[in-house]
Amino acid sequence: EQLGRAHRSLPWQLEGAEIPGASDVLVAGRPSAIYAGQALKVVARGRPSRPLLRLSLRCGLERRLLEVPLGATLGSPLAPRAYGEVATCQLEDLAGVPRPATLAYARHFRLARRTCSFVMLESEADYRRFGIQPETAAADAARIRSDSASALLERADEQTFSPRGRFLARYADLLRQDLLVEVQRWPDSAFVVTPRPRLGQRRQLAAPADADQLLERAERERRDRPGRAVRLLACLAERDPGSQARAWELGYQALAWEDYAASWGAFGRLARWPDAEGPAHVGLARSLEGLGCYDLALLHYELALSGCFRLAEREPYLTEFIGFLLRRKDLLRAYGYVAARLQELRRSRDGAEIDWLVSVEWNTVGTDLDLHVQEAQTFKHCYYGQRVSPHGQLTRDVRDGFGPERYARLVGAPLGPCRLWLDYFAEDEHRASTWTTALVTTWFNPGEPYERVQRRVVRLRGKGRVELGTRRSSRPPDAR
């Protein structure tokens, strides 16, 4: 009967609870909404002369102050423990509450929960040996009198649900300790991403039903109306919300079109998939750099390279990360950390200086993409050859995950053009009608003040070869 009554009526949002003459009013479970017939357990400190509970409620635009008489007051030695149970339970549930405060509540009210447990030793010497002092009880009581549970919960809510608190609650255990110390001093504004608003994007967009037609239309729209082109690709991703491949495609294409707000949203969605977290954090870092959020970009690069996520090949991302640090070191808050990190990364790598760099990533598993390079002066450099070039570095063949495969042209190599192409093979025969999207990124003069980045998206079906054109040095002659 109670469940049916609650189902038929609208809930009221509980905005506050107050008992005149009492302090530190807590509602067990911290409910945000109450229903018809719902039972509430309310505890507080004090001895009110007129027991009355006031609830501040809201339902839509309607607000109401509900006063509930509490009836006869019965004194009981168990009342402090009832308050302690509710307070300690709520303090333990929030990560932002300082542990000493939670420990003081648990010890004072003798509650063996997640915070502490209790033992009985045989002698006073044993208590002294384990550092259990009698004055601890007095210190706990003094702390409880000075720090009310409601004040602790309010401060913890501000920290936990602030932009910085939400980020640290999810990733604090994955960051380097020296970086975590720096991050805890950053303001909340460093964790807020505010993409530029798009004008004229509210009108309804009729997208073709066929995926190939939708892609063709997006390519036509991108020159005159790039925002509409990205929306067309978003329609393709929304038709299959459970598909990682479509989300990767949207992120890659938005990066190539320099629509960093759209790519940030796509990679943020991909970061929720466990098998895609590592590459997705790299995509988030690239998007955030394009949006001007350099501090957040630094954190996502570090998350991707922390070793906590699966990456098929880590070396290309290290090169990209070093270039990011060199470009943005004067704009980052953690300047001292960045300087030390650059020295650490340079010591761990060889001293070869890179002229230009090509990286290929793709959006489908069970797919083999091989990057081939025809170097200047007819030197062929590919995965299946046994010859080693003194002028370039090629990563190993990546056959699992989303890539990347990379070729780096070293400074001092011959100035002739290098021809690049992709060999493509899809292992899954059931995906004959599905294409693979590859993001081809070229960095010219990586890490230098005159660095340039070019991104291009290619779509592949079945198996075959795709030409990527030629690359040649763009470094000024005096810099070579």
Distances from the Cα of 255 to the Cαs of 144, 249, 327, 446, 453, in angstroms? Answer: 53, 10, 19, 18, 11
Four-point Cα dihedral 79, 85, 91, 92, nearest 10:
170
Q: Tell me what the mean pLDDT of segment 19-26 comes to.
A: 90
Helix axes 260-270, 226-239, angle to 10 degrees: 20
The DSSP annotation for 170-199 comes to HHGGGS-HHHHHHHTTS-GGGG---PPPPT
- Which of 1-5, 111-115, 328-332, 413-417 ranks highest by mean pLDDT? 328-332
SS3 content of the chain, % helix, strand, coil (to 5): 40, 20, 35
Q: Is the pLDDT of residue 81 over 80?
A: yes
Query: Any residues with CB less than 8 A from the CB of 81 and at least 6 apart, and which?
Result: 109, 110
Per-residue pLDDT of 174-223, as tens digits, reads: 888 999 999 988 998 899 888 765 544 444 455 555 666 667 677 777 66
Q: Is the pLDDT of residue 149 over 70?
A: yes
* pLDDT value at residue 202: 43
Distances from the Cα of 271 to the Cαs of 77, 177, 280, 438, in angstroms? Answer: 51, 22, 5, 19
How far is the first Cα of the chain from the last one, in angstroms, to the nearest whole number?
83
Q: Is the pLDDT of residue 266 over 80?
A: yes
Domain locations in the chain as residue ranges: 2-69, 79-161, 167-195+217-347, 354-479
CA 376 to CA 355: how far, in whole Å? 14
Per-residue pLDDT of 286-310, as tens digits, reads: 999 999 999 999 999 999 888 766 6
| 334 or 310, higher pLDDT | 334
* pLDDT value at residue 131: 77
CA 215 to CA 229: how far, in whole Å? 9
Cis peptide leading into residue 31 (ω within 30°): no
Four-point Cα dihedral 26, 32, 35, 38, nearest 10:
-30
Query: Any residues with CB less than 8 A from the CB of 146 and at least 6 apart, and which?
Result: none
Q: Tell me what the mean pLDDT of segment 389-413 comes to.
A: 76
Q: Is the pLDDT of residue 373 over 50?
A: yes
Q: Is the pLDDT of residue 479 over 60?
A: no
Q: Is the pLDDT of residue 477 over 60?
A: no
CA 263 to CA 371: how far, in whole Å? 25
Calculate Rg over the CA atoms of the chain. Answer: 30
CA 365 to CA 385: how far, in whole Å? 25
* pLDDT value at residue 350: 61
The DSSP annotation for 70-135 comes to -------TTHHHHHHHHHHHHHHH-TTS-HHHHHHHHHHTT--SSS------SSHHHHHHTT--TH
Query: DSSP 3-state assignment of 156?
Result: helix
Pair of tokens at residue 198: 């798009």
The CATH number fitting domain 167-195+217-347, selected from 3.40.1390.10, 3.40.50.2300, 1.25.40.10, 3.40.109.10: 1.25.40.10
Q: What is 354-479's CATH number?
A: 2.60.40
pTM above 0.75, yes or no: no
